[in-house]
Amino acid sequence: MKTISFYSYKGGVGRSAFLASFAQWLINSGRSCVVLDGDLNAPSLHHKFLESVILAKDVWDLNKQNVGLQLYILDYLAKLNQAADDITEYFIPLNSNSSEINCFFMPAGNAPTHDYASKHLRIDWKILFPPKDPAPGIDLFLDLRNRIEEEFNPDFLLVDLPAGITNIGVLGYAFLPDISVCLFICSPENLEGIRLAIDALKNNVSKSPVIFPILSRVSREQDEEAVIKAVKIWIAEDFRIIHESSGKEFAQPTIANPQPVAISSEYLEIFQIFKSGAK
């Protein structure tokens, strides 16, 4: 199982949309995956999946009250830091158009609703992440990662992380990603924040992932050399660029889906890099 986390310091950089596009491409390419929406503050992956029809609306409507990471955490706290016996009940299937490809989704929860907001306030982060070690939250998420691998055995685990600096952001460390995708735009707050995140990932003593910075939403009307120069003041690592209009889209036939899927050349090049090396 290759684990890839997706992070941005600020919202509005296209992080969740990029992850959703990659998940859809994997599924249509015949690869199994599990997707986890860790952005409890502003979850959106279920909307992206409903729009792309890899999440069936009737399946979502039937299960949305009883699945998700929020409920998994609340049940853990209610059981005095005891994880659920069966993690599969917190996941819902994604459409793969093939009985041989198993893909599953753990949404944040039934958001945005008043019930979701009320439950969100009930999560006691001080219990999960006390000022001093050990932090039960780290063990909770690491255990979830291991059980996902045991239960579903996917080719890929994709984790959408919340923007900014939050307790839940430790998902980026606890899930021990093989690749940490860091999306940002060329603005002072984005560059400062993503520099902090990259440094933190490099200093992660348990496992240092491959860091994959992506400068997104670059206009083709901008002076690209000037933009790159400004970014390199903060980001010493090599980074990829995704333009606002990322070139001509082309249709690619897939293994699991006979219908072609439109993929931009910039996206496809990055997706192929992520896909390489998976089992």
Per-residue pLDDT reduced to its tens digit, 210-231: 889 999 988 777 888 888 888 9
Query: Quick check: 38 and 161 in contact, CB under 8 A?
Result: yes
pLDDT of residue 222: 82
pLDDT band at 249; cut points 50, 70, 90: very low
Backbone angles phi, psi at 203, to 5 degrees: -90, 5
pLDDT of residue 168: 58
- Look at 136 and 166; give whichever has higher pLDDT: 136
Amino acid identity at 193: G
Structure tokens at 162: 């919340």
Per-residue pLDDT reduced to its tens digit, 170-223: 666 667 789 999 999 999 999 999 998 888 888 765 667 888 999 998 877 788
β-bridge partners, 261: 252
- Look at 90 and 84; give whichever has higher pLDDT: 90
CA distances from 212 to 35, 37, 145, 263 (A): 19, 19, 21, 20
Collapsed DSSP state (helix, strand, coil) of residue 1:
coil
What burial class does residue 97 get, using C-beta atoms within 10 Å of its C-beta: 0-12 exposed, 13-18 middle, 19+ buried? middle
Pairing status of strand 104-106 against strand 92-93:
antiparallel
Query: Quick check: 36 and 157 in contact, CB under 8 A?
Result: yes
C-alpha 246/C-alpha 219 separation (Å) is: 9
CA distances from 184 to 144, 150, 163 (A): 28, 33, 11
Alpha-helix runs per DSSP H in 123-254? 125-128, 136-152, 171-174, 188-202, 224-232
Structure tokens at 120: 């969100």
Mean pLDDT of 245-257: 45
Domains and CATH numbers, the chain: 2-275 (3.40.50.300)
Query: Quick check: 187 and 8 in contact, CB under 8 A?
Result: no
Among residues 125, 7, 116, 124, the alpha carbon closest in space to that of 70 is found at 116
- Look at 25 and 99; give whichever has higher pLDDT: 25
Q: If you compute the radius of gyration of the chain from its CA atoms, what whole number of angstroms results?
A: 19
pLDDT of residue 5: 93
Strand intervals (E) in the chain? 2-8, 33-37, 92-93, 104-106, 156-160, 179-184, 210-218, 240-243, 249-252, 261-264
pLDDT band at 263; cut points 50, 70, 90: low
Per-residue pLDDT reduced to its tens digit, 131-154: 877 788 888 888 999 999 999 999
What burial class does residue 148 get, using C-beta atoms within 10 Å of its C-beta: 0-12 exposed, 13-18 middle, 19+ buried? buried
Which residue shows structure tokens 């460390």? 173
Per-residue pLDDT reduced to its tens digit, 7-26: 999 988 999 999 999 999 99
pLDDT of residue 2: 95
